[in-house]
Every structure is written in C-alpha cells, then in structure tokens.
Amino acid sequence: MASDLVLPGQPIPLPRGPVPQLGRGVYEKDEQVRASLVGVPHFEGSSLVISRLRPQPPAPNSVVLGSITRLSPLQALLSITVVDDIPLPPGEEFTGVIRSQDVRATEKDKVKIGDCFRGGDVVRGLVISLGDARSYFITTARNDLGVIFATSEAGATMEPVSWQEMRCPKTGKIEKRKCAKPEGLS
Amino acid sequence: MQSTFDRRRINGPEESLPPVFISEPQDTFSNTPVARKSRKVSDIRPIFLQPGLITQANGSAYIETERTKIACSVYGPRQSKNTAYNEKGKLNVEVKFAPFSCEHRRAPLRDAEDRSIAVAIQQALLPSVQLEHFPKSTIDVFVIILEADGIEGCIASGAIAASTALANAGIDMYGLVTSCAAAVIEADIWVDPTQEESNTANGTLVLSCMPALGIVTNSWQTGRMTPSELLACIDACSGRCTDIHSVVAQGLLNSAHDET
C-alpha cells in the first residue's frame, strides 16, 4: 500500500502490545518508534525493519563478493564489489583482507596463500570484523565460502574438482584454490 | 592575454557582452528597503524541489526558490581512505559556486565564502545523520550553487536540498532537516530575504531544524539584533520550517512512488 510509506523522523504506528525488536531503518526516541529511512516498514521475523536496496558498507556477518588484488605470504587483499547481494557503485569498492589463519577452518598453520588464491579470482567471503583503519577482515573458513570464479594460466574458466583444486578445461591442468562449494549440491 | 589565464579549464571567449537581465540589476546599493511586490514580509519564496535528478549520484536533489537554484548530490557511504580507524562515519560537505551564479563572475577556485557555507550546511545536517551506522565510512555531499540570491537563502536552500538528497540516498537519519532565513529590516521581520533585502538588513538569522522531532540543529546569525527581535526571528523561521517540511515530504513521497 502506497499510504504506508514513511519518511525519516516520522512516527510509526504500532499495534498495541510489547514493542517489537527494532531492525535497520527504524529507531526509538522518547518511547516513540520512528523511521530513519524512506520506505515501507514491515516485519521480518520478529523485528521491525525498513529495508533498502541502496549499497551499504560491509558490517560483521555480511557476505561479500570481491576479487583478489594482491597476494602476500601472510594475507590476500580483496576488493569488495558486492555486499549482501547489493552491488556497490563502480569506483567505490571497499578493501578487505583475508589473513592466512582465516582461509580455512582446519590446519590453519599449514595454509599457503599462494595455494588458495590467485590474483583476479572472485571470492565469496564473510566479514568477521571491521578490521583496521585500512581494511575489513574477511574469512573463507566455511564450505560455501572461497573462490567461486577463477581463470587458469591458459585463460580458461576453471571448474572445481574438490574443495582444494580446480581444473582447466582447456589443458586439463589442475591448479590449487580454496574453492567454495557450489550452491545446490548435497 | 589575461594574467590569470588557466589553461587547465575551458576558458570563455576573449570577447563577450554582458547578459541582459530580466530585472535590471541595481547599480547603486541603496540602504532603503524596497517593499515586496509579490509576497508579504512573512512569506517565503515558492519552492520547487525534485529529488533524484542526478542519476550518477547515490542520491540527489534540486531546489529552486525564485532566483536561488541549487543542485545537491550525495555519494557514499564509501570507505574513508588515509584516515585513522573511526567508529563513526564522517559527513563531508563541499559547496561550489558555478562561475555564472552571481552577478560578477566567480573564479572556479574555492574561497572563504564557499567554506563558510559548507560549514553552516554541515552543522545543520550533522545532528540528523545516524553516523554510528557507518563505521570507517565517509558520506560526501556536494552542493552546487547554480544561481545565488543572497547567502542566507543559499544556506537555507542548500541545507534543505542536502537533507532531501541524503534521504534520497537511503542514509539513515533521525529526521529531515529544513531551514529558513529571516532578516531584521527597520524593526520588521522579513522572512526569506533576497540579496537586495539582506543588504539593507540590520541583522539576519538562518535557522535549521528537524520539525518532525522539534529539534533545532543549527542557527547562524549575522549583524545586529535585539533579543526580542531574535526571538521573533526564531518563531517566524521555525513556523516556515514546518511549512517547508511538508514540501520536502511531498517531494520525497512523489519520488518514492515513481521508483516503485
């Protein structure tokens, strides 16, 4: 309904009863729940939210997509281009860093960054913290996180063969990556 | 050849003629106020407000009040570069005058007037933005003044346009900021003065507030005013701000309808 649109600062009428949990886009001031965004307030589970489709900076626990820009023995630098399925405007990427201890969940001390990522790989990761002044800390220590798109040395798009290896369809050569488990596989 | 020739910019032709204005600009500054023809002293100029005009920006707004024309664009939240870790976001306001915005050509260089307007607008907006939602990020607000008719009007309209652009950009805010100016001219309060009117004024006041919450965010006073005149100015301004709030609300609702 169009009449349900609210503006920043506008009080949101609530049904009688306990005050619901407040999510993004709403706030409480002087015991009055108000909107902080333009939109239609609705319930998502038990919390009241105003959703927005505008890009937002990464926050802890948001899933991000990005490409590897730089490798070092201790960490890989990631240029974040998508945050929670919302693409960022071009030129406004955030930088993330995957430290070697955050690449996978087991045998953390045996991780070689060069055997997990290569420059240009597209990686799905999870933000663990806001990190330092320069970058967000990203982890790929989960089955569904890791490299989702990579090209081989021959330039062909590779396909994953296990969680640690990818094969080039052109030359049949196997390269090492920390692969993400494709969606829809049991 | 001019001594201040700037080869990095597109320079105008060497020969030019002065433009013909609809209303002849006054040659001499008279200190006697000219009575308003089209509106009462308690009336503001009609406002045209259009959010979302600049498609490249994250959010934008264009405002026009007779001879004051301002475009505002909001970019970000983007990552703050070269700064220390900051729990709260940063609000960056930049004001630029178009070279043709005033009666005399303005060189495309930043001067003190741009910056004082930028500070006034930034202070008006700052209490309204929920910067704690944007750690390590910067929100950039660019205000471009296409035509200026009084610095007070520029600050007021600029703050309204910037707040509308922030709402259009989906930045979390406590409320919408509206702003209004008033001048004391011969013991009378003239709301929303033009350039000529504020030249004859004893003092002027720009008041910014969030009418939805009843909070004053900024006030900017120049010149001489008695306390009772100041209180009368604040009353007049806050009343007009409530009126402007409905204009802003209507503009945002219309643009939100168009998007869905």
Report pTM.
Answer: 0.84
pLDDT per residue, tens digit, chain A (186 aa), is: 445 888 888 888 887 777 778 888 888 888 888 888 888 888 877 788 887 767 788 888 889 999 999 999 999 999 999 988 888 888 788 899 999 988 888 888 888 888 889 989 999 999 998 888 788 999 999 888 999 999 988 888 998 898 888 999 889 899 999 998 877 766
Asked whether the predicted pLDDT for residue B214 surpasses 70, the reply is yes
Partners of A36 on chain B (C-beta within 8 Å) are: 130, 172-174
Q: Is the CB of residue B136 less than 8 Å away from at least one CB of chain A?
A: yes
Cβ count within 10 A of residue B19: 7
Contact B174 A36 (CB under 8 A): yes
> Which residues of chain B from 195 to 224 reach within 8 Å of chain A, CB to CB?
210, 212-213
CATH class, domain A63-176, is mainly beta
Q: CATH 2.40.50.100 occupies which residues in chain A?
A: 2-49
CA distance B196 to B30: 9
Q: What is the band of B3 on the pLDDT scale with cuts at 50, 70, 90?
A: low
For B133-142, write each residue's pLDDT tens digit. 888 888 999 9
Q: Could you tell me the CA-to-CA distances from A71 to A99, A100, A101, A111, A177 in Å, in that order?
A: 10, 11, 14, 13, 13
Chains A and B: how many Cβ contacts under 8 Å?
Answer: 85
Q: What is the pLDDT averaged over residues B9-22?
A: 77
Architecture per CATH, domain A2-49, reads as: Beta Barrel (2.40)
Q: What is the dihedral of CA B53, B72, B39, B193, to 10 degrees?
A: -170
- For B258, the 3-state DSSP assignment is helix
Q: Do B256 and A38 touch (CB under 8 A)?
A: yes
Q: Which of residues 49-68 of A touch B (CB under 8 A)?
A: 52-57
pLDDT digits (tens, 9 = 90+) for B225-259: 899 999 999 999 999 999 999 999 999 999 888 87
From residue B53, how far is each of A6, A78, A84, B20 by CA, in Å?
Answer: 21, 33, 27, 29
Interface touch A5/B257, C-beta < 8 Å: yes
Cβ B170–A7 below 8 Å, yes or no? no
pLDDT at B1 over 60: no
- Type of residue found at B39: R
pLDDT at B110: 66
pLDDT on residue A1: 40
Give the domain ranges of chain B.
48-259
- CATH homologous superfamily of domain B48-259? GHMP Kinase, N-terminal domain (3.30.230.70)
| pLDDT tens-digit readout, A32-43 | 888 888 888 888
SS3 content of chain B, % helix, strand, coil (to 5): 30, 30, 45
